[in-house]
Amino acid sequence: MPAKILFLVLLFALGLGQATQAFQVETLAEGLEHPWSIAFLPDGRMLVTERAGRLRVIEGGQLLAAPVAEVPDAYVAAQGGLMEVALDPDYADNGWIYLTLAHGDRRASATRLVRGRLEDMRWVENQVLFTAEPARNRPVHYGARLAFNNDGTLLLTLGDAFDFREQAQKLDSHTGSIVRLNRDGSVPADNPFVGKAGALPEIFSYGHRNPQGIVVDPESGLIWSHEHGPRGGDELNLIRPGENYGWPVATFGVDYSGARITPYTSRPGMVDPKIDWTPSIAPAGMTQYRGSLFEDWQGDLLVASLVERSIRRIRLDGESVVGDEKLPLELGMRLRDVAVGPDGAIYILTDQRDGKVLRVTP
């Protein structure tokens, strides 16, 4: 297994008037093929997904050579593969682990949510909970991030499959939406579009492009999500039930060709973003800091960026954003995900064929 590599990074105080501090960045694991998501088991082990379709285990600070066996097959192409891993909030009692993946083939694929249990490095008792409809013939923009609501339900982000952006404004398609489900995959009776003619009952919010970060504040219950814009127009949004977040009718971004998508950056009846990132940073994962190592960061959002190759710290005051700063880690790698471990350290996944798990501490 690769040796741990330690180096120091100077992390400035982000305008808070504090002295410069030294932070330690440790390479905890490497040799991962495009790692996508990380979860922490109560026994100290870590689970890491590889987009190539493997679920890996880090134990005792080392990446085990063999992946978890019998994990459901994912359609691996372009942006598709095995994506999110998350533990049930009641994992200690029920042992459920949730995965998101691209399901299908080159003709059509869609985001799927499953759950199962881990038994002696085997995935067992697999249950398919949800598959987005309709499937699309472009293996991109799956969304596929997962968060658990304070009310016991779960939220799953779904992208627009790139070529189908107009569908994000329609309620008869899961394309470009966030869905809310009970943890067994059933539909909560109080979802905003339950009983509405022509609307899919799972939809919680819509008008999204490719949301790949979602966090529920355990104290306030507020739901924060970020999404990729096209060329510019990346967004951080405060998510509320039944709301329309505008894509593609209102955006600060333009098409990759430079062509205008819409003349509007805001429209009546559509929710404006709390942050617009133009130029794009490509936000790819998000967590909220709750831990003991970075005391001044309590409740702040941390956002991993692919294009900017950074971690951004977003300071909140209730429903308002009061600070957005790039942490000067200067890692020089595309960053796919960021998470807070039980030890209060920050864990970062790099998006590479030889991807790494990094651990950041003071």
Per DSSP bridges, beta strands 54-59 and 62-63 are antiparallel
Both tokens assigned to 323: 């600070």
From the candidates 34, 103, 141, 228, give the one annotated as an active-site residue.
Answer: 141
Strand order in the sheet with 223-228: 210-216, 223-228, 234-239, 275-277
| Structure tokens, 227 | 């999404």
- Annotated catalytic, 141? yes
User: Which residues on adjacent β-strands are paired with residue 11?
Assistant: 21
Q: State the Cα–Cα distance between residues 25 and 68, nearest whole angstrom.
A: 27
Catalytic positions, written as ranges: 141
